Structure 1
């Protein structure tokens, strides 16, 4: 497993998403899950690369918000929890 970079709340929220993904070694991929209640998931490959599997066709705001929140979970960045219906589960 790769050592996680230090990510501050300000950096996580203020850095353009494309730049942030590149910095932390993450890639967004379309998820085959079509359930309206599914917002995204993070998978870490054996190489250490992070894949953010997110449903296609969602708004840019939802995509950006969920991607940042998922990265916050991975890098243990202290952010307030998202309101319902958002729930995170670690497997």
Structure 2
């Protein structure tokens, strides 16, 4: 899923997450999924608005890293793949 705006790798990784989310119009919401293997998901509403559904109670580092990686996938930002067993899927 490739969407505007264009986001550079440096901007994606260096901008404070709250500022980045505001700039690209993405809202973070708590996910109700409690499975330990679930790290987050990007959901597109019928209105086109993007939501980043993240599990509550995870470390700040995990939250920030996964959010940025998922956003990289959505906005086609070229970043190295995460190591196994972390994988992304599109449905």
Q: TM-score range by the shorter chain?
A: over 0.9
Assess if the C-alpha contact under 8 Å between 1:9 and 1:79 holds in 2: yes
Length-normalised TM-score, structure 2: 0.94
Partners of 1:25 and 1:78 lie apart in 2 by 20
What stretches of structure 2 of length at least 5 have no aligned partner? none
In the TM superposition, 1:1-91 aligns within 5 A as 4-91=4-91
Length-normalised TM-score, structure 1: 0.94
Partners of 1:84 and 1:62 lie apart in 2 by 15
What stretches of structure 1 of length at least 5 have no aligned partner? none
Structure 1 runs of 4+ with >6 Å offset: none
SS in 2 for 1:42: strand
Return 59-68 or 39-48, whichever deviates more: 39-48
SS in 2 for 1:43: strand
The size of the alignment, in residue pairs, is 89
**RMSD over aligned Cα atoms:** 0.9
